[in-house]
Amino acid sequence: MKKTLVLLAIATSTLAQAEPLTFDFKDPKGVNNVVFKLDAPLESINGTASGISGTVTGDPDKLETITGRIVVAAETLHVPNPVMKEHMHGEKWLDTKANAEIVFDLKSVSNVKRDGNSGTADVSGTFTLKGISKDVTVPVTITYLPGKLKARGGDVDGDLLVIRSNFTINRSDFQIQAGQSADKVAENIEVSLSIAGASPKKS
């Protein structure tokens, strides 16, 4: 009887650990950000985006199980020059009024290499920009910070999941003035994503 109870307890705790967590990437601290760089022969454009939301679900101990959706509000794309910003948001370029969201649908994780609570992997999914979706695979670094949510300020206990990724997209692939003004606006857009999601503990 005692043996059965011990086995049951072990099985229950194993099942509890395997339960997937959902991390919410809407960050009230405003830390989550995307940096984009375009380095053309005549002009270099550096900007950021901060309006990040979305969720990622999975077992942080098994990164292969992670799926989710990260959304960037296109209107939060920012460059320091106001005229450049107006052009970037305008109909000719990103048309942010008609295409309000930039979305990454995270479908699968492969090539996982773990190092403690961190790991690198390749994430495959669908990247949607200016209403055009493309399947992409990007390298990511994922860090799981169990029990660190409260340390960021606030009253809730929980875990954090930090995702970082650097990848490059081609603007012509997303019909952003394809092949136009390449001397001033680079074809390749270097994207650096640094985001943290929170998973509050269920009480």
Please count the residues of this chain forming the interface with other proteins, following the rule CB under 8 A: 24
Q: Which CB sits closer to other proteins, 126 or 141?
A: 141
Contact pick of 30, 41, 116, 179 for other proteins (by CB under 8 A): 30
Give least dist CB 12 to other proteins, A: 31
- Three-class SS string for the chain? CHHHHHHHHHHHHHHHHHCCEEEECCCCCCCCEEEEEEECCCCEEEEEECCEEEEEEEECCEEEEEEEEEEEEHHHCECCCHHHHHHHHCCCCCCCCCCCEEEEEEEEEEEEEEECCEEEEEEEEEEEECCEEEEEEEEEEEEEECCCCHHHCCCCCEEEEEEEEEEEEEHHHHCCCCCCCCCCCCCEEEEEEEEEEEEECCC
Contact pick of 63, 109, 145, 169 for other proteins (by CB under 8 A): 145
Give least dist CB 160 to other proteins, A: 6
- Site for other proteins contains 89 (CB under 8 A): no
- Of the candidates 87, 22, 88, the one whose C-alpha atom is nearest the C-alpha of residue 49 is 88
d(CA 86, CA 71): 21
- Site for other proteins contains 189 (CB under 8 A): no
Tell me, residue by residue from 148 to 177, as one string, x for binding to other proteins by CB under 8 A and - for no binding: x--xx-------x-x-x-------------
Q: Which CB sits closer to other proteins, 66 or 160?
A: 160
| Region binding other proteins by CB under 8 A among candidate stretches 14-22, 31-39, 60-68, 97-105 | 31-39
Give least dist CB 40 to other proteins, A: 13
Residues that bind other proteins (CB under 8 A): 29-33, 48, 50, 78, 80-84, 143, 145, 148, 151-152, 160, 162, 164, 194-196
